[in-house]
Amino acid sequence: MPFRIITGDITKVTADAIVNAANSSLLGGGGVDGAIHRAAGEELLFECRLLGGCKTGQAKATKGYKLPCKYIIHTVGPVWQGGEKGERELLYSCFRNSLELAGQKGCESIAFPLISSGIYGYPKDKALQVAVAAISDFLSANDMDVTLVMYSKSSFELDHALEMNIKSFIDDSCAHLAPAAEAAVCSKHPEQDFRSERRGLKKLFGAAQKCGSVPAGAAAFKQTQNDECFVCDEAPVSLDEFLMSRDESFSQSLMRLIDESGMSDVQTYRKANIDRKLFSKIRSDKNYKPKKQTALAFAIALQLDLAQTEDLLAKAGYTLSSSLKFDLIVKYFIINRQYDIFIINQALFAFDQSLIGC
């Protein structure tokens, strides 16, 4: 799980390093700073007194003491002054310097609060953008599990324009669901809803039928002498014959797509926000079945269009639905060719959905 966003108490998060949004004295204060000092115990204050303070944008490390971490990395965020006093650069430095210091200490995981977004007044949506930019830049060249801990959902703010666009897309998609659902009912059996049967048969025989294209809706069902509906009239094949003709697996398809993209394995799993060990499992096992979130992460990393994404998902037995909020949000980004997985995950988090990749 290279980068994830959660809500909770950062003092209870288990990681190699926990970041403290400190003041320049490093001697404790309010908010996250005070909570970390209280949870770590008075020994933390004794060590902090030896550090001689810290400049804005810089980072210094101490032991974790009573916290569930090896190290506490103290960084001083900027006070918001309207955005014209170098606040973005200083906040970016807080995240970047903390990550680099954690790397120097041999840390494999780190947890951050949203630095400067409390009493320092940095607008939460802008602070989030800086945090994601700094973390994603670091992860493009480094392997580390990074967690951004929001104290509560109310402390998280997605870009307003993006949020409104996604809501509009979801509303428009849902408005078209009723006519589509009606079209899935067999005209000769109006009392019977064949949507689940149709999905099951299509999944069994694959998207491409040997007999040609299968029309959607009622036309997909044909009446036979014993009054049963099937997707086509092709002569039956044996189960052995059918299994022998199956398509490439998810793993085989993914590796082919990576080769075609010209990206390296490392570039791919980092862009997909996927752990290196998980990627190795997928590569080494041609029959590996990933979670849907994992499959989608690779589609985003490879910048597949909607049809290509659906095809890759089908290799793992999944599809994108027009009735699920999670699927619609991912669809929104693919249709608009926006493939930044960290931005997508911000949107999923804002709408209370599972994140992809991690």
Position 100 scores a pLDDT of 98
Instruction: Report yes or no: 274 and 298 within 8 Å, Cβ to Cβ.
Output: yes
Q: Alpha-carbon distance 233 to 205, whole Å?
A: 13
Average pLDDT over residues 336-349: 95
The yes-or-no answer on residue 145 being catalytic is: no
Question: Of the ranges 224-238, 290-304, 305-319, which one carries the lowest mean pLDDT score?
Answer: 224-238
Q: Which pLDDT tens digit goes with each residue over 202-236? A: 444 444 444 444 444 434 444 443 444 444 445 56
Domains and CATH numbers, the chain: 3-157 (3.40.220.10), 180-244 (no CATH), 250-350 (no CATH)
Q: Which pLDDT tens digit goes with each residue over 77-121? A: 999 999 999 999 999 999 999 999 999 999 999 999 999 999 999
Q: Where are the alpha helices (DSSP H) in 144-225?
A: 160-175, 177-183, 195-205
Position 151 scores a pLDDT of 84
Strands (E) in the chain, as ranges, are 3-7, 17-22, 59-63, 71-76, 109-112, 145-150, 222-223, 229-230
- Asked if pLDDT for residue 270 goes beyond 50, the answer is yes
- The whole-model pTM stands at 0.76
Position 358 scores a pLDDT of 75
Position 155 scores a pLDDT of 72
Position 178 scores a pLDDT of 53
**Average model confidence (pLDDT) for the chain?**
86
Average pLDDT over residues 145-152: 93
From 33, 143, 172, 340, the catalytic residue: 33
